[in-house]
Amino acid sequence: MLREQLFNEAFSRIQARRQAARLQQEQRTEQIRREIPETAELDRQLRNTCLAIFQAANGEDRAARLKTVEQQSRQAEDMLRRILTAHGYPADYLDLHFSCTACDDTGFVDGVPCTCLKQEIGRIGAEQLNQHSQLALCRFDTFSMHYYRDLPPEQYSAMEQIFLRCRSYAEEFDPETSGNLLMTGATGLGKTHLSLSIASVLLEQGYSVIYDAAGNLLHMLNQEYFSRGQSEQSDTLSLLLECDLLIIDDFGTEFDTQFNRSMLYTLINGRINARKPMILSTNLSLAEIQAQYGERVLSRLLSASVFQFYGTDIRMRKR
Ligand SMILES: [Zn+2]
């Protein structure tokens, strides 16, 4: 999806929120009028004062009239709030309640896109990129330590620690302070399951999380790069650089080309410089990462917490 389409889609979602807020306010007003008929009378008074304000705009001693009218309207509003609380409703029950108080669901603050609009763009981008992953299947509660039961005790407890640390990583996630994780170990030891479990928790909380295998991500970047010309920064690359959490699975299994190597460096380096968290999983050892990507990628990755996975291939054992 192009940046412009993403923006339009996100903006129309924000507009829908604003409409929903108005609709809900109307419904609450209707409901209160039915339940507490005296509020209908107050409402009529309030509307009359509005009319008076409008008329005052053309009359003489305008300031004085406006002042009285304002006073009346404040009194009517106070009265309404007292009636609401007396009937067990919150005092602001009939106010408009927007999802975003920074921009009142307009998507802009002083002409600049609001955080809520930017978040929505990230979320939609992530939804698009994640549509083929098995996100729904992998959760912390479906992760079983049972598969590791034959491991030597110290390896079993290392796996248990990894599980607990991944769960608290998800629970305590903060896009501005969370660190990077590097999961290493052979295929089928639960790396994908745990990183997708983290993704599920964060997506439910509304964070933008992009998950894919390195090979797929690079394939998309490659296609975009060569179809749009090399001067423009690609939309996918900006999504990958800007999302709250980027999860690159099977790092090291992509084709080893000049393009892939430099693109991976751009991604890893860009996110680390912007202090945006990332989870990488790989079958490679640290020495193999150094051999394949060079010292500069390795040194950037060494800031991550390294989780060494143990066990025998779970996918083989499940059969
Ligand atoms: Zn906003």
Cα 241 to ligand 1 centre (Å): 22
User: What domains appear along the chain, each with residue ranges and CATH number?
Assistant: 3-106 (no CATH), 132-318 (3.40.50.300)
Contact 284, 252 (CB under 8 A): yes
Cα 7 to ligand 1 centre (Å): 14
Q: Distance (Å, rounded) from C-alpha 73 to C-alpha 230?
A: 62
Report pLDDT digits (tens) over 236-293: 888 899 999 999 999 988 888 889 988 999 999 999 999 999 999 999 998 998 888 8
Cα 24 to ligand 1 centre (Å): 18
Mean pLDDT of 3-9: 82
Cα 199 to ligand 1 centre (Å): 24
Cα 11 to ligand 1 centre (Å): 11
- Which of 54-68, 84-98, 115-129 has the least mean pLDDT? 54-68
Report pLDDT digits (tens) over 245-254: 999 999 988 8
Pairing mode, strands 278-282 and 112-113? unpaired
In percent, the amount of the chain with pLDDT more than 70 equals: 91
Burial classification of residue 30, based on how many CB atoms lie within 10 Å of its CB (0-12 exposed, 13-18 middle, 19 or more buried): exposed
Q: Ligand 1 is a single-atom ion; what residues have CB below 5 A from it?
A: 100, 102-103, 114, 116
Sequence-ordered alpha helix ranges (H) in 87-133: 115-130
- What three-state secondary structure class fits 306? strand
> What pLDDT sits at residue 224?
84
Contact 38, 46 (CB under 8 A): no
Q: Distance (Å, rounded) from C-alpha 72 to C-alpha 46?
A: 8
